[in-house]
């Protein structure tokens, strides 16, 4: 039963990550890393496929081995945070406009303290 839940979680994470490749502000690589985590516990074949994937394999391995995030990933995350802050300042009422600022401060500081891989 647990194996099946991880398999469903992996496919769900991979599907949402695929949507994130086309929808701004939806993170793709963290969801693919989550899918690899789930597949490691449910399907060695799917995990191996993700680890050998040309676009995502190195991100997954860097995260697993060193907890590393690429410089390009850090910059992309920072730009997404900045974009969401601008949108919130333009369209969200007080105090909701503060949510992206707080998320950027917390999430961004965590992202930038990870090693680069």
The pTM for the full model equals 0.78
Paired tokens of 80? 């997404």
CB 84 within 8 A of CB 26: no
The rounded distance, in Å, linking the Cα atoms of 78 and 38 is 27
Answer positive or negative: Cα dihedral of 90, 92, 93, 96.
negative
pLDDT digits (tens, 9 = 90+) for 36-87: 999 999 999 999 999 999 988 999 999 999 999 999 989 988 998 899 899 9
Answer positive or negative: Cα dihedral of 110, 83, 79, 50.
positive
Paired tokens of 66? 């060193």
The pLDDT value given to residue 25 = 67
């Amino acid at each position: 039963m647990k194996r099946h839940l991880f398999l469903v979680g992996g496919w769900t994470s991979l599907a949402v990550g695929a949507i994130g490749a086309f929808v701004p502000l939806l993170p793709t690589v963290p969801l693919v890393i989550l899918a690899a985590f789930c597949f490691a516990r449910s399907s060695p074949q799917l995990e191996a496929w993700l680890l050998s994937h040309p676009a995502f394999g190195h991100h997954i391995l860097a995260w697993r081995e060193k907890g590393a995030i690429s410089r390009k990933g850090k910059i992309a995350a920072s730009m997404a945070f900045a974009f969401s802050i601008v949108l919130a300042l333009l369209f969200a009422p007080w105090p909701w406009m503060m949510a992206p600022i707080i998320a950027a401060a917390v999430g961004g500081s965590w992202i930038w303290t990870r090693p680069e891989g």
